[in-house]
């Protein structure tokens, strides 16, 4: 039984990597800028928000450019992946109905594809860190953070992809929800600890993941135990819950879409 489970996981990951690699290539095929498109969008957004931060007097924050770019690329990773995943099952209805394929691959492959994209965005953070003469040793911890962050995103993606199967308009609902999340997540501003918004933000997983990354890279602080439990352990729980919901409903997907 354990061998069958292991074999299934390996098969899902193999197919997911294959789909992600091909989608990544197709996205750049025929493009003059190619992979530079992955850098151009965050650079433009970063430049605009850097100016906005100056207007709002947020530049007083130590290493504010890095502070801003970390929040921006991590939130972009979350929204890009989940916006793709929410419609992944419906958009691939033909494959699910006509080919014997594990539907999980359409969710996992999307996450892998956007991890590829995120890699190029993080190069910007490294380049900016070098320019600002930061201690680059702490940057090596980022892959650990992004691993748990990816688990969290996959768990959310499992849940919203199933919801979109049952609720036709859920893709539009999710788009609105991510826009609201953008404003309540401190990406280009800081929420004081004594502000009531800080208490509300404690319920926002994005707040914790972004803050952990900023603490490690900018402040060179080891994650506190309570923050570790809230962010990393919860990411595993979200992944497990999302997977359970997906597995319970996966046999109904073909007849619903």
Q: CB–CB of 92/23 below 8 Å?
A: no
pLDDT of 142 reads: 95
The mean pLDDT value for 104-119 works out to 93
- Of the two residues 175 and 255, the one the predictor is more confident about is 175
Residue 28's pLDDT is 63
Task: Enter the DSSP assignment of 60.
Answer: G
Min mean pLDDT across 53-67, 77-91, 144-158, 170-184 is at 53-67
CB-based contacts of 45, cutoff 8 Å, min separation 6: 72, 76
Percent of the chain whose predicted confidence (pLDDT) is above 70: 90
* pLDDT cut 90: percent of the chain above it: 51
Burial of 131: CB neighbours in 10 Å, binned 0-12, 13-18, 19+: exposed
Mean pLDDT (the chain, rounded): 87
What is the reported pLDDT for 185? 93
**Contact at 8 Å (CB) between 219 and 128?**
no
DSSP symbol at 233: I
User: What pLDDT, on a 0 to 100 scale, did the predictor assign at position 106?
Assistant: 94
pLDDT of 21 strictly over 90: no
Q: Supply the pLDDT for residue 17.
A: 86
Residue 153 pLDDT > 90: yes
Question: How high is the pLDDT of residue 115?
Answer: 94
Residue 95 has pLDDT above 90, yes or no: no
Q: Determine which of 170-174, 200-204, 208-212 has the lowest per-residue pLDDT on average.
A: 200-204
Contact yes or no for 21/114 (Cβ under 8 A): no
- pLDDT mean over 136-157: 94
**pLDDT bracket for residue 254 (50, 70, 90):** confident
Digit-coded pLDDT (tens) for 24-62? 777 666 555 556 777 888 889 898 888 887 666 666 788
């Amino acid at each position: 039984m354990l061998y069958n489970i292991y074999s299934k996981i390996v098969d899902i990951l193999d197919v997911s990597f294959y789909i992600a690699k091909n989608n990544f290539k197709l996205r750049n095929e025929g493009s003059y800028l190619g992979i530079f498109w992955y850098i151009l969008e965050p650079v433009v957004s970063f430049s605009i928000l850097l100016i906005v931060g100056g207007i709002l007097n947020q530049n007083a924050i130590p290493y504010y450019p890095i502070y801003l770019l970390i929040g921006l690329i991590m939130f972009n990773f979350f929204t890009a992946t989940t916006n793709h995943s929410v419609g992944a099952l419906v958009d691939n209805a033909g494959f699910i109905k006509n080919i014997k394929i594990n539907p999980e691959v359409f969710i996992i492959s999307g996450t892998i594809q956007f991890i590829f994209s995120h890699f190029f965005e993080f190069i910007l953070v490294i380049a900016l860190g070098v320019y600002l003469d930061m201690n680059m040793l702490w940057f090596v911890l980022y892959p650990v953070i992004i691993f748990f962050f990816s688990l969290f995103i996959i768990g959310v993606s499992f849940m919203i992809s199933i919801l979109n199967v049952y609720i036709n308009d859920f893709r539009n609902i999710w788009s609105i929800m991510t826009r609201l999340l953008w404003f309540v997540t401190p990406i280009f501003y800081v929420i004081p600890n004594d502000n009531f918004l800080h208490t509300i933000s404690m319920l926002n997983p994005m707040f914790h993941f972004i803050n952990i990354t900023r603490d490690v890279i900018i402040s060179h602080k080891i994650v506190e135990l309570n923050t570790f439990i809230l962010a990393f352990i919860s990411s595993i729980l979200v992944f497990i819950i999302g997977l359970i919901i997906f597995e319970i409903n996966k046999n109904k997907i073909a007849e619903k879409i």
